[in-house]
């Protein structure tokens, strides 16, 4: 049998370096370096992100507002509560999947208390 078992996916998910959707606020920016590209994801609110770079830049649609479905291990199993996780592939709302994520950098918008 080829591929990764669901049990192995569940076990490995607890060790991921990840950025959770519920920890991000409007104005936060996430830079995602994949094996093939770099993406900039600006949190716009209401589950939307303004995305630039990578596939969007190469197709002339930088600054596209789109949802993020989550991240996959390369198949149909998806972790929907995250924006990005090292080793996984980001899946956008249009079902576009990136190559494997290598690095993530987050800039939180200045919040006044």
Instruction: Decide if 29 is inside a domain.
Output: yes
- Mark 78-112 as b/e (b = at least 16 C-beta within 10 Å): bbeebbbbbebbbbbeeebbbeebeebebeeeeee
Instruction: Decide if 2 is inside a domain.
Output: no
pLDDT tens for each residue of the chain, 113 residues long:
356 655 555 555 555 789 999 999 999 999 999 999 999 999 998 899 999 999 999 999 999 999 999 999 888 889 999 999 999 999 999 999 999 999 999 999 876 65
Structural domain boundaries enclosing 70:
16-107
Residue that is written with structure tokens 């716009």 in the block: 44
Counting the structural domains of the chain, the total is 1
Work out the number of other CB atoms within 10 angstroms of the CB of residue 77: 15
């Amino acid at each position: 049998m080829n591929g990764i078992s669901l049990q192995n996916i569940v076990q490995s998910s607890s060790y991921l370096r990840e950025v959770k959707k519920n920890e991000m606020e409007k104005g936060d920016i996430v830079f995602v370096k994949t094996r093939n590209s770099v993406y900039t994801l600006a949190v716009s609110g209401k589950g939307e992100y303004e995305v630039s770079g990578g596939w969007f830049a190469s197709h002339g649609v930088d600054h596209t507002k789109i949802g993020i479905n989550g991240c996959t291990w390369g198949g149909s199993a998806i972790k929907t509560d995250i924006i990005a996780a090292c080793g996984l592939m980001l899946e956008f709302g249009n079902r576009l999947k990136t190559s494997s994520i290598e690095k993530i950098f987050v800039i939180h918008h200045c919040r006044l208390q």
